[in-house]
Amino acid sequence: MAHIDYFFATTSPYTYLAGTRLEEIAQRHGATITYKPVDMMQVFARTGGAAPKDRHISRQEYRLMDLARSAQFLEMPINLKPAHWPTNMAPSAYAIIAAQSAGTGDVGALVHAFTRACWAEELDIADDTVIRDCLTASGFDPDLANSGLLAGAETYAANTEQAVARGVFGAPFYITDDDARFWGGDRLAHLDAHLAG
């Protein structure tokens, strides 16, 4: 059975625009997914990247154009300047880590709920109420928001270290069990083809 390690950031607009296509691809090929939220600002800093605000103006302008076009193409709502961005990624990441360990709901739906809350619903995904609502909507116990915080912090840090060690430099990023690497939601079709052989 194929496996995919999925590295992402809950504040990444491109993670949001990837939607739940990864889950559809994995289901089609009988592949499993391990969700690995990371501190993308650390990944950028350690792999030659820069936070969006620190990029050259030409890159900043292109990013906004590309996000708008991509959202329109995918027929997904997006606010290019959300009210609560940037925000602290850690609380939502910890919730995803706890949810994956609990295994009672839909982790893919939870990831999308957080990114949609940030980029389409004008919600602060560092807020406890928002985190609890996203957990509930995805079939998890909302109390997971406050459980296993130390384990969540340790796993989040370990995910970030692993991302850098395995060649991740942006989000979303997908790595198969045979070390094929795919960066960006626009490469999901390539991942699909790879899993098909």
- Report how many domains make up the chain: 1
Give the mean model confidence (pLDDT) for residues 119-142: 98
DSSP class of residue 180 equals -
DSSP string across 25-83: HHHHHT-EEEEEE--HHHHHHHTT---GGGS-HHHHHHHHHHHHHHHHHHT----SS-T
108: domain CATH number is 3.40.30.10
Domain holding 34, by residue range, is 3-196
The pLDDT score that the predictor gives to residue 50 is: 95
Specify the pTM.
Answer: 0.97
Question: What pLDDT is stored for residue 148 in this prediction?
Answer: 83
Partners of 182 in the β-ladder? 174
On the question of pLDDT at 93 being above 90, the answer is yes
Q: Does residue 4 sit in helix, strand or coil?
A: strand
pLDDT beyond 90 at 147 = no
